[in-house]
Amino acid sequence: MSIRASLSSVSRRTFVAPAAFQIRAKHTLPELPYAYDALEPSISKEIMTLHHTKHHQTYVNGLNAAEESYSAAVGKEDVLTQVKLQSALKFNGGGHINHSLFWKNLAPYGSEEATLSEGPLKKAIEESFGSFEAFKKKFNADTAAVQGSGWGWLGLNPLTKKLEVTTTANQDPLLTHIPIIGIDIWEHAFYLQYKNVKPDYLAAFWNVCNFAEAQRRFDAAVKA
């Protein structure tokens, strides 16, 4: 659920808040389509449990709190508070969006979904990067190079309709491309298992990447 526009008009001295602004429903933590231990040995049960029930839940709670405060600020015609809340909305909203996508981007270890099959997505990857192995090498290198926390993405450029590897900082969602594959590179996603060795985590990710979901996203993106 996105936040409705809060400013109907702004002048030098007056601000009119939209009377219809309200939070329609609270965001909730999505259920995982697999068990917490389904990704082992690539991603441990301990990491998945903490990542989902603690970290993602924190973003959900933060987003709900920020939206409630924002709604109250609109009702009070408090523009300054609305502006102050933008960072909390972006951070927690982005965290909720990114993680909701990330869970669907994973599939049980050894499952059929975790194998890239012949089809439009594989063909597009080969056209854009030369080969699937070359794509993974670039994706892993660019994502490992993220300083601090962030996300690595394979996205479809909506202008060129080409696949590109890109990254975002912190919990910023991918806005410049249509996300096809995304990976959380925050330490909470891997440190308990892989310590500070990001490349090992990135290499293991491909054993549990849900390529069937990526194919569905790609099919929808090229038609958009």
Cβ-based burial of 111 (10 A; exposed 0-12, middle 13-18, buried ≥19): middle
Can you spell out the DSSP letters for 128-166? HHSSHHHHHHHHHHHHHT--SSEEEEEEE-TTT--EEEE
27 belongs to an annotated ligand binding site: no
Can you spell out the DSSP letters for 35-83? -TTTTTTTS-HHHHHHIIIIIIHHHHHHHHHHHHHHHHHHHTT-HHHHH
Can you spell out the DSSP letters for 116-130? --SSHHHHHHHHHHS
52 belongs to an annotated ligand binding site: no
* Single-letter residue type at 69: S
Those residues with Cβ within 8 angstroms of residue 181's Cβ, 6 or more apart along the chain or in another chain? 105, 139, 153, 154, 209, 214
- Binding site membership: which residues? 51, 99, 184, 188
Which residues line the annotated binding site for Mn(2+)? 51, 99, 184, 188
